[in-house]
């Protein structure tokens, strides 16, 4: 055992238990890293798409474009964001349409009015 990690007077069994806890923590971290790596591989296979699903509910759609749900509702009412699609009784926003509308929003300092061609 490395004496720099454990006190000299620490019992051998306590050191073994502590090493087991450290190993378990390391395994969890490795598992988390593996999961993140798989997400990165998926995203790399779909350049420009950092999300893993196509349809968002209202809250997710608002979060996706970086605003709260009330502001998102206003943007939808003003037709500055797309109308939702309906899947049975669910209301879903298409992420591709969100991207399209978001790219049409004016940038700061842009004097032109917002429009969708």
Same domain, 88 and 66: yes
- CA 88, CA 108: separation in Å to the nearest integer? 39
Whole-number pLDDT of residue 43: 65
CA distances from 117 to 7, 80, 111 (A): 71, 12, 17
**pLDDT on residue 1:** 46
pTM, to two decimals: 0.53
In this structure, are 11 and 43 located in the same domain? yes
CB 86 within 8 A of CB 92: yes
Q: Is 113 inside a domain boundary? A: no
Residue whose tokens read 């699609």: 85
43 and 59 co-located in one domain: no
67 & 40 share domain:
no
Does residue 115 form part of some domain? no
Is residue 64 domain-shared with residue 42, that is, in the same domain? no
Point out the residues of the chain with pLDDT beneath 70.
1-4, 41-51, 111-117
The total of structural domains in the chain comes to 2
| Residue 35 placed within a domain | yes
| Domain range for 23 | 1-47
**CB distance 55 to 95 below 8 Å:** yes
Query: Domain for residue 32, yes or no?
Result: yes
Whether residue 64 sits in one domain with residue 99: yes
Structure token pair of residue 99: 């991207």
Query: Both 34 and 59 in a single domain?
Result: no
Question: Does residue 116 fall inside a structural domain?
Answer: no
Do residue 41 and residue 7 come from a single domain?
yes
């Amino acid at each position: 055992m490395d004496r720099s990690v454990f006190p000299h007077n620490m019992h051998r069994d306590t050191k073994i238990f502590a090493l087991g806890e450290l190993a378990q923590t390391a395994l969890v971290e490795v598992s988390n890293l593996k999961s993140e790596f798989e997400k990165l591989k998926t995203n790399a296979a779909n350049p420009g798409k950092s999300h893993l699903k196509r349809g968002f509910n209202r809250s997710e759609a608002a979060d996706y474009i970086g605003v709260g749900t009330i502001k998102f509702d206003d943007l939808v009412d003003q037709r500055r964001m797309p109308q939702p699609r309906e899947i049975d009784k669910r209301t879903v926003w298409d992420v591709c349409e969100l991207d399209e509308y978001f790219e049409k929003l004016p940038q700061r300092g842009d004097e032109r009015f917002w429009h969708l061609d």
